[in-house]
Amino acid sequence: VKPSHLQFIEPSKRYADLIIPRGGENEVGIEVLVSIIEKHLNKKNRKNAR
């Protein structure tokens, strides 16, 4: 698993808008991600309501 991680995941990190270390155990990181998604969805909903 580690060679694949180093080959595919690590190089793609530089293109990420957000990296959440420790995955699902990182409550603050998850809250940030949820907030970004909610903002994006609300923006689209307002745009479609016009």
Mean of pLDDT over the chain? 90
Q: Residue 29 has what DSSP assignment?
A: H
pLDDT classification of 4: cutoffs 50, 70, 90: very high
The pLDDT-based confidence of 22 (bands split at 50, 70, 90) is confident
Residue 29 CB contacts under 8 Å (≥ 6 apart), including other chains: 18, 20, 21, 22
Please tell me the predicted confidence (pLDDT) of residue 44.
83
Closest CA to 29 of 39, 18, 37, 38: 18
Predicted TM-score (pTM) above 0.75: no
Give the separation between CA 23 and CA 8, rounded to whole angstroms.
17
What CA–CA distance (Å, rounded) separates 43 from 14? 26
At residue 45, the pLDDT reads 84
Q: Specify the DSSP element, H or E, that contains 14.
A: none
